[in-house]
């Protein structure tokens, strides 16, 4: 009998101890700990790479990828005390409104 769970398995990052969906963790390290360094990268840096990582990811839905990325990014940044500027908050709000059919995105 196959059990269907409404939520993907949750994994914990060995580095930041945050929990993420299965796609966002590999080999006990989360996507953000693998790609970014808290002492080097700013909120703006991490936010600015969203389109590149979306294209690289293979996700079909830009809208769902952006929502997951932003949710997980905020969790990771909060853990490492990486705070957004007012400008970053405005850009983040714009990214939340992007729909799948939209070809315009923040640079």
Q: What is the pLDDT of residues 52-98, one digit of tens each?
A: 999 999 888 889 999 999 999 999 999 999 999 999 999 999 988 87
Say if CB 20 and CB 72 are below 8 A apart: yes
Closest CA to 68 of 14, 23, 16: 23
Sorted by sequence, the CB contacts under 8 Å of residue 44 that are 6+ apart come out as 84, 85, 87, 88, 91
Q: What is the pTM of this model?
A: 0.81
Distance CA 56, CA 102 (A): 18
Say if CB 36 and CB 63 are below 8 A apart: no
What are the domain boundaries of the chain? 10-96
């Amino acid at each position: 009998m196959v059990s269907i769970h409404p939520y993907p398995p949750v994994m914990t990052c060995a580095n930041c101890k945050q929990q993420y969906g299965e796609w966002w963790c590999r080999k006990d390290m989360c996507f953000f700990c693998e790609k970014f360094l808290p002492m080097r990268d700013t909120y703006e840096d991490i936010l600015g790479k969203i389109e590149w990582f979306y294209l690289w990811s293979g996700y079909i839905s830009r809208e769902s990828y952006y929502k997951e990325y932003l949710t997980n990014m905020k969790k990771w940044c909060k853990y490492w005390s990486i705070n957004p500027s007012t400008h970053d908050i405005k850009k983040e709000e714009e990214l939340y409104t992007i729909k799948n059919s939209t070809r315009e995105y923040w640079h």
